[in-house]
Amino acid sequence: MAYLSQELKQRLQLQVNECYQIASRRLNTVFAEPVVQFNQRGKIAGCALLQTNTLRFHPIIYQQNQQHFLEHVVPHEVAHLLVWHLYGKTAPHGREWQQIMTQVFERPASRTHNYDVTNIGIKSIDYTCGCGEIALTIRRHNKVLRGAQYRCKACNETLVAKTT
């Protein structure tokens, strides 16, 4: 796991706290603050574990994109927990979540990030299709070895492991 300095952890925790203070003021509700972890893996910048009131953040993506991460990913994930608390089960990026993002946090309701994840240590295996090469993660490659098939989104051909 990547090392993240105490200072960076504290900055993110302060941003989480600030998001909760903003939400409490604007929604006139007291929310239980979540557990914050820095153990998210893969290409996902963060996730909200609703039932356990936990936020998980990717330490390398955070470290490489600090200010933008604090301004966008943290409110995005906090909004998921707030929606769960206020409305229960809803569509993950549905109307309620979008409303929290735009009206409470005054941030765009973006579903995904566009951070460069080429150098965060994700191993991949090259596959081919009619379009060319596509890198699959080790997890997907292992699923192929167990019988799964993946298709190219552009040409709809089944991906085949590249032979060297």
Computed over every residue of the chain, the mean pLDDT equals 93
In 15-132, where do the E strands start and end?
Answer: 35-37, 46-49, 54-57, 124-128
Residue 164, pLDDT score: 64
Burial of 40 from C-beta contacts in 10 A (0-12 / 13-18 / 19+): buried
Tell me the pLDDT tens digit for each residue of 53-72. 999 999 999 999 999 999 99
Which member of 18, 71, 77, 96 is catalytic? 77
Q: Is the pLDDT of residue 4 over 80?
A: yes
> Going by C-beta distance under 8 Å and a sequence separation of 6 or more, which residues neighbour residue 80?
48, 50, 92, 97
Q: To 5 degrees, how large is the angle CA 30–CA 53–CA 42? A: 135
Residue 123, pLDDT score: 76
Residue 2, pLDDT score: 63
CA distance linking residue 20 with residue 34, whole number of Å: 10
Q: Is the pLDDT of residue 1 over 60?
A: no
157 is catalytic: no
Tell me the pLDDT tens digit for each residue of 16-64. 999 999 999 999 999 999 999 999 988 899 999 999 999 999 999 999 9
Q: What is the pTM of this model?
A: 0.79
Could you tell me which CATH number the domain at 6-104 has?
3.30.2010.10
Residue 37, pLDDT score: 98
Give the CA dihedral 21, 23, 27, 29, nearest 10 degrees. -50
CA distance linking residue 82 with residue 72, whole number of Å: 15
Q: Domain ranges in the chain? A: 6-104, 124-161
